[in-house]
């Protein structure tokens, strides 16, 4: 999405800053990639963390996935948007990811409390987007709504876009937990009784908080390999996201509360 | 996404068409319970396009919400919790899948009557409509309604999937009857292709492979058909249109105009015109996503720089001078009303079109369209899910095309200025001229001089009377005789005028008024050319006949009342219209549910009772000859 935005405004510079809502539990390699990107001349990066949540010791390890996601992601995003008084935030969510996202608008209006009302959304006719808002209201904008996962990878290949190395298969220390392979990204991940860290050839299809993101066994070390792998895969990309598994409607619930 | 289930390795396709062709965007529609979601779910499932984890969720949910006990494919599509619990689809849901041959974007829209607005939204971005019919029920109001909306929204391709064939024992006759019914109905619509396919979504017959249960059907199954169909309407060869989205000024030297080409193509060096202002220049550079390029075509997102410093703003449209878009501040359009708040003619709304916004007021709501019958009904307002035709007046001129010609530059939305709600979607029909901008032009040759050349005076012969009274028959005889006598004549006939000049008008009171007003103006122009004009119109209202009489200068208007009693007209019923009107199929029909006001003082009154049409025509000719003598 960043690549598309740069191209859309070229030869001018990107007219808006980038925002990262950091939970403190993101993959180290992802943070490194983020910081390298932020050093480029046309990028202004803002990083926000819910300090109150951190002070309260909220973590995916101690608090469980639901509370951690609510405080460190949903609430943090709301706080960040209010801090910088942003009218709109772009997100990379796509309709093919998850069922409630399938009905999301491209310009999704959120109420003054950042709530989403899926039953009362603005109709989107042709390419005509209604961007008008009342005081306190904000927008989530999803330019990639109509892309599928494979489209994203084909585009990355066509445009040779640099990506976080975690998407490529490599020998990494993981533990098997609740049917998912969780990477031991740093020493904060406590191993439970009977769990052993093992080195396996894995990659990630999606990057969330590392203790909540399952890796997949994979040999795909190039974009071509990844495309071939996706074409023959029988599982969806969010399958590795533990926060989606609480309940069938849990993404919709999170979105109503202000999650992307 | 291409997905495979189980251990069977996918044969590597030699040609990945799906990577080079644009996706087919189609809309599923039809009455509720006709099985739309089930059909799409089945399509995904059969082609191994459902992920294992989605399938596991489906099995789980089928037990919880399913209506059939077995796997309920519809649950794959119905996205939101509330509707899963109610068992209905309440919004537009999108699905993405690709086979080796093609990628697909599916908009799944609700079948319920109250969701016309969602269907219009889904249809606005689709190229093809997949319309479902229950083989047991045949065409329903919803089926017709959805076909009409799809047509109105500019979809040119339709697949009629006659579903639940398993429940009618795969009966060919049933299928044929539904197909015939639909083709008869759709003859009035503008679809370029219509394909009927008998299917069973539940059991997978003719979904992705041809069905053994319906050997009598020789056409393609649904998926192969969708993989093959060409919907590209040759947009690169259409007139160039680029709505300007962004004025790019990274530094003092560079000034570029960014946007996506909506139609046609442009090359470096081509002359371009900025509308609505009309300024012209030449294309200096085209900056595409990959840098500078020589040309750009439909759907390309580019930034153009021009050779001259001319005014260009966001919302302007770049065109080529020899193929301009229309420019006007008064236009006629179809509206799909999308709000609980009703339309208020006279209220100022915000119109968003081509990345620009302008204040817009509905000056005249011409009629509402009954989308079950396509009939035009007089209306004072539009409510949620209504479709109407109106005139709009704008606060300044804008550039646009008719929606029929260009779905991008011909579409708009109306926004409530107070709630910011999107209250209507609009499709422009044509520009209207605002009389206030026009000055009368003096013309040198007078009417008397033209009459001298013709050898007789001009005249308007106005035949009025009920449908079937014999107006056209008598007028034809009169014209034939006058012509034989060397009189310069022409005929304006009610039906013919409605097929052309007045094809936008219906039969409501306001439309009948406008119909006669226009005919009066045309008749007047023709008398100015020196002709004897025979006008044959029911023209039920005295006021409009008087209006025409006053329009045409003194003594040149002859009102001929063809006074045939209603009973006789009903008995004749030459076009079968009374029968249909009395069955309720036609509304606002004169003599049935709309009044006819007989003339009080016609110049001629023709009573057919014991006189032949020939003799009646002779009476008229005799009168005319006296009137037009120089």
DSSP element (H, E) containing A244: none
User: Are the beta carbons of B616 and B561 closer than 8 angstroms?
Assistant: no
Q: Which of B568, B514, B565, B578 is nearest to B541 (CA)?
A: B514
Give the best residue of A11, A99, A124, A178 to mutate against chain B (max B CB count within 10 A): A99
pLDDT (tens digit per residue) in B563-605? 999 999 999 988 889 999 888 888 888 888 888 989 988 999 9
Total number of residues shown for chain B: 630
Overall average pLDDT of the B253-267 stretch: 92
Q: Which residues pair with B617 in a beta bridge?
A: none
Q: Which of B355, B379, B361 is nearest to B369 (CA)?
A: B379
| Helix/strand/coil for A172 | strand
A197/A183 Cα distance (integer angstroms): 9
Catalytic residue among B211, B411, B539, B612: B539
Interchain proximity B79–A235, CB inside 8 Å: no
Interchain proximity A122–B53, CB inside 8 Å: no
Interchain proximity A154–B413, CB inside 8 Å: no
Q: How distant is the alpha carbon of residue B115 from its chain centre? A: 19
Interchain proximity A150–B422, CB inside 8 Å: no
What residues of B are in contact with residue A249 (Cβ under 8 Å)?
81, 84
Given a cut of 80, whether residue B414 has pLDDT beyond it is yes
B426/B403 Cα distance (integer angstroms): 9
B486 touches chain A (CB under 8 A): no
Q: Which of B534, B507, B519 is nearest to B592 (CA)?
A: B507
Q: Six-digit token pair at B229?
A: 């169909």
Out of A119, A145, A239, the one facing B53 most closely (by C-beta) is A239
B3/A68 Cα distance (integer angstroms): 33
Give the minimum alpha-carbon distance from B581 to chain A in angstroms, rounded to a whole number: 36
B189/B140 Cα distance (integer angstroms): 17
B35/B201 Cα distance (integer angstroms): 7
Q: Read off the pTM.
A: 0.71
DSSP element (H, E) containing B234: none
* The predicted structure's pLDDT at residue A102: 74
Tell me which DSSP letter residue A120 carries.
S
Q: Which of B234, B260, B256, B236 is nearest to B247 (CA)?
A: B256
* The predicted structure's pLDDT at residue B437: 53
CA dihedral A20, A25, A26, A29 (to 10 degrees): 130
pLDDT (tens digit per residue) in B208-259? 899 999 999 999 999 999 999 988 767 778 899 999 999 998 888 899 999 9
B258 touches chain A (CB under 8 A): yes
Q: How confident is the model at residue B151 (pLDDT cuts 50, 70, 90)?
A: very high
* The predicted structure's pLDDT at residue B345: 76
What residues of B are in contact with residue A127 (Cβ under 8 Å)?
408
Given a cut of 80, whether residue B80 has pLDDT beyond it is no
Percent of chain B residues topping a pLDDT of 70: 87
What contacts 24+ positions apart, CB below 8 Å, involve B81-90? B81/A100, B81/A249, B81/A252, B82/A118, B82/A119, B84/A249, B88/B32, B88/B112, B89/B36, B89/B37, B90/A119, B90/B115
Tokens 């009302």 belong to residue = A117
* The predicted structure's pLDDT at residue B68: 54
Overall average pLDDT of the A84-96 stretch: 91
Homologous superfamily of domain range B235-319: Translation factors (2.40.30.10)
Interchain proximity A125–B120, CB inside 8 Å: yes
Of A55-64, B4-13, B289-298, where does mean pLDDT reach its minimum? B4-13
pLDDT (tens digit per residue) in B158-203? 999 999 999 999 999 999 999 999 999 999 888 999 999 999 998 8
ipTM above 0.85, yes or no: yes
User: Are the beta carbons of B103 and B24 closer than 8 angstroms?
Assistant: yes
User: Are the beta carbons of A214 and A172 closer than 8 angstroms?
Assistant: no
- Strand-strand pairing, B279-288 and B348-353: unpaired
Q: Alpha helices, DSSP H only, in B455-586?
A: 471-484, 494-499, 509-528, 542-551, 566-572, 577-582
Q: How distant is the alpha carbon of residue B9 from its chain centre? A: 48
Interchain proximity B422–A248, CB inside 8 Å: no
Which carries the bigger pLDDT value, residue A235 or residue B288? B288
Give the minimum alpha-carbon distance from B399 to chain A in angstroms, rounded to a whole number: 16
B492/B479 Cα distance (integer angstroms): 11
Which carries the bigger pLDDT value, residue B373 or residue B583? B583
Of A95-99, B311-315, B467-471, where does mean pLDDT reach its minimum? A95-99
Interchain proximity A12–B422, CB inside 8 Å: no
Overall average pLDDT of the B384-402 stretch: 92
Q: How confident is the model at residue B3 (pLDDT cuts 50, 70, 90)?
A: very low
B252 touches chain A (CB under 8 A): no
Overall average pLDDT of the B13-18 stretch: 44
Q: Is B215 exposed, middle or buried (CB count within 10 Å of its CB: 0-12, 13-18, 19+)? A: exposed
Overall average pLDDT of the B309-329 stretch: 93
Which carries the bigger pLDDT value, residue B64 or residue B187? B187
Percent of chain A residues topping a pLDDT of 90: 49
Domain-wise residue ranges, chain B: 4-228, 235-319, 326-434, 447-628
What residues of A are in contact with residue B82 (Cβ under 8 Å)?
118-119
Overall average pLDDT of the B265-280 stretch: 94
Out of B118, B250, B421, the one facing A13 most closely (by C-beta) is B250
What DSSP letter does each residue of B347-406 carry, written as one string?
A: -EEEEEETTEEEEEEEEEEEEEEETTTTEEE--S---TT-EEEEEEEEEEEEEE--TTT-
Residue numbers of B between 91 and 150 with CB closer than 8 Å to A: 91-98, 103, 105, 117-118, 120-121, 124-125
A154 touches chain B (CB under 8 A): yes
A92/A151 Cα distance (integer angstroms): 13
Interchain proximity B3–A10, CB inside 8 Å: no
CATH no. of B447-628: 3.40.50.300
User: Are the beta carbons of B78 and B85 closer than 8 angstroms?
Assistant: no
Q: What is the CA radius of gyration of chain B?
A: 30
Q: How confident is the model at residue B93 (pLDDT cuts 50, 70, 90)?
A: confident
* The predicted structure's pLDDT at residue A244: 60
A9 touches chain B (CB under 8 A): yes
B539: annotated active-site residue: yes
pLDDT (tens digit per residue) in B502-549? 888 888 766 777 788 889 989 999 998 899 999 999 988 887 787 788
Give the Cα-Cα-Cα angle B354, B356, B358 (nearest 5 degrees): 120
Interchain proximity B6–A150, CB inside 8 Å: no
B19 touches chain A (CB under 8 A): yes
Given a cut of 60, whether residue B83 has pLDDT beyond it is no
* The predicted structure's pLDDT at residue B66: 55
* The predicted structure's pLDDT at residue B461: 95
Of A99-108, A180-189, B383-392, where does mean pLDDT reach its minimum? A99-108
CATH no. of B4-228: 3.40.50.300
**CATH topology identical between B235-319 and B447-628:** no
pLDDT (tens digit per residue) in B472-491? 999 999 999 999 999 999 99
What residues of A are in contact with residue B256 (Cβ under 8 Å)?
11
CATH 2.40.30.210, domain B326-434, yes or no: no
pLDDT (tens digit per residue) in B275-300? 999 999 999 999 987 789 999 998 88
Q: Which of B359, B375, B410, B628 is nearest to B508 (CA)?
A: B375
A71/A164 Cα distance (integer angstroms): 25
What residues of A are in contact with residue B90 (Cβ under 8 Å)?
119
- Strand-strand pairing, B459-464 and B557-562: parallel
The mean of the pLDDT values for chain B is 85
Interchain proximity B19–A146, CB inside 8 Å: no
Given a cut of 60, whether residue B78 has pLDDT beyond it is no
Q: What is the CA radius of gyration of chain A?
A: 19
**Which chain B residue has the Cα nearest residue A248?**
B57
Q: How far is CA A187 from CA A28, A183, A190, B105, in A?
A: 12, 11, 7, 44
């Amino acid at each position: 999405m960043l690549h598309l935005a740069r191209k859309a405004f070229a030869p001018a510079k990107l007219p808006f800053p980038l925002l990262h809502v950091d939970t403190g539990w993101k993959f180290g390699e992802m943070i490194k990639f983020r910081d390298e990107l932020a050093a480029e001349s046309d990028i202004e990066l803002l990083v926000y963390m819910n300090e109150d949540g951190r002070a309260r010791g909220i973590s995916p390890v101690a608090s469980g996935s639901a509370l951690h996601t609510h405080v460190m992601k949903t609430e943090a995003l709301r706080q960040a948007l209010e801090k910088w008084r942003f009218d709109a935030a772009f997100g990379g969510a796509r309709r093919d990811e998850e069922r409630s996202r399938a009905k999301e608008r491209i310009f999704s209006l959120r109420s003054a409390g950042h709530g989403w009302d899926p039953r009362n959304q603005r109709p989107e006719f042709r390419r005509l987007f209604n961007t008008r808002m009342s005081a306190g209201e904000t927008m989530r904008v999803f330019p990639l709504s109509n892309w599928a996962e494979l489209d994203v990878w084909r585009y990355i290949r066509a445009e040779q876009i640099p990506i976080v190395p975690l998407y490529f298969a490599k020998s990494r220390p993981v533990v098997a937990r609740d049917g998912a392979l969780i990477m031991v990204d740093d020493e904060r991940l406590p191993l439970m009784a009977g769990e052993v860290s093992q080195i396996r050839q894995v990659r990630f299809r999606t990057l969330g908080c590392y203790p909540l993101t399952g890796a997949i066994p994979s040999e795909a070390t190039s974009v071509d390999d990844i495309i071939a792998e996706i074409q023959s895969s029988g599982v969806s990309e969010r399958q590795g996201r533990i926060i989606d598994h609480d309940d069938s409607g849990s993404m919709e619930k999170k979105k109503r509360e202000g999650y992307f | 996404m291409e997905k495979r289930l189980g251990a069977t390795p996918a044969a590597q396709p030699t040609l990945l068409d799906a990577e080079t062709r644009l996706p087919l965007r189609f809309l599923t529609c039809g009455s509720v319970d006709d099985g739309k979601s089930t059909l799409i779910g089945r399509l995904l499932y059969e082609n191994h396009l459902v992920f294992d984890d989605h399938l596991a969720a489906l099995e789980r949910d089928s037990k919880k919400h399913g209506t059939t006990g077995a796997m309920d494919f519809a649950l794959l599509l119905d996205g939101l919790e509330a509707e899963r619990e109610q068992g209905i689809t309440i919004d537009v849901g999108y699905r993405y899948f690709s086979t080796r041959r093609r990628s697909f974007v599916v908009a799944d829209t609700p079948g319920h009557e109250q969701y016309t607005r969602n269907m219009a939204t889904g249809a606005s971005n689709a190229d093809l409509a997949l319309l479902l019919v229950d083989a047991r029920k045949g065409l329903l109001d919803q089926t017709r309604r959805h076909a009409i909306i799809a047509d109105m929204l500019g979809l040119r391709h339709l697949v009629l999937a006659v579903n639940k064939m398993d429940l009618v024992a795969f009966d060919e006759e049933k299928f044929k009857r539904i197909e015939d019914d639909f083709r008869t109905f759709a003859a009035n619509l503008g679809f370029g292709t219509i394909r009927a396919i008998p299917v069973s979504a539940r059991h997978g017959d003719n979904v992705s492979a041809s069905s053994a249960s319906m050997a009598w059907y020789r056409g393609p199954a649904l998926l192969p058909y969708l993989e093959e169909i060409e919907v590209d309407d040759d947009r690169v060869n259409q007139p160039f249109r680029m709505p300007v989205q962004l004025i790019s000024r990274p530094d003092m030297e560079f000034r570029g105009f960014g946007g996506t080409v909506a139609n046609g193509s442009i090359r470096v060096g081509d002359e371009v015109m900025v509308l609505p202002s009309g300024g012209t220049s030449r294309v200096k550079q085209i900056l595409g996503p990959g840098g500078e390029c020589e040309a750009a075509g439909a759907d390309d997102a580019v930034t153009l720089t021009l050779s001259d410093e001319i005014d260009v703003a966001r919302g302007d449209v770049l065109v080529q001078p020899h193929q301009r878009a229309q420019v006007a501040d008064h236009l006629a359009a179809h509206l799909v009303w999308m709000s609980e708040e009703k339309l208020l003619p006279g209220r100022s709304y915000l119109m968003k079109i081509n990345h620009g916004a302008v204040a817009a007021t509905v000056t005249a709501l011409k009629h509402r369209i009954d989308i079950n019958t396509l009939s035009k009904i007089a209306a004072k307002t539009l409510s949620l899910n209504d479709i109407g035709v109106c005139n709009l007046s704008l606060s300044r001129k804008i550039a646009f095309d008719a929606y029929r010609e260009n779905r991008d530059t011909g579409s708009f939305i109306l926004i409530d200025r107070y709630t910011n709600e999107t209250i209507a979607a609009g499709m422009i029909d044509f520009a209207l001229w605002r009389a206030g901008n026009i000055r009368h032009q003096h013309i040198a040759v007078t009417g008397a001089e033209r009459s001298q050349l013709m050898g007789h005076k001009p005249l308007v012969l106005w035949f009025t009377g009920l449908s079937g009274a014999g107006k056209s028959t008598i007028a034809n005889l009169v014209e034939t005789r006058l012509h034989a006598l060397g009189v310069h004549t022409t005929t304006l006939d009610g039906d013919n005028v409605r097929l052309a000049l007045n094809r936008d008008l219906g039969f409501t009171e306001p439309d009948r008024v406008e119909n006669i007003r226009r005919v009066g103006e045309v008749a007047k122009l023709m008398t100015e050319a020196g002709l004897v004009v025979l006008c044959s119109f029911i023209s039920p209202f005295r006021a409009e006949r008087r209006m025409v009489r006053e329009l045409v200068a003194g003594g040149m208007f002859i009102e001929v009342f063809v006074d045939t009693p209603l009973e006789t007209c009903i008995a004749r019923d030459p076009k079968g219209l009374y029968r249909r009107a009395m069955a309720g199929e036609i509304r606002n029909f004169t003599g049935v549910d709309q009044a006819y006001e007989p003339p009080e003082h016609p110049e001629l009154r023709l009573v057919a009772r014991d006189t032949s049409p020939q003799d009646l025509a002779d009476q008229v000719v005799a009168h005319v000859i006296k009137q037009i003598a120089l």
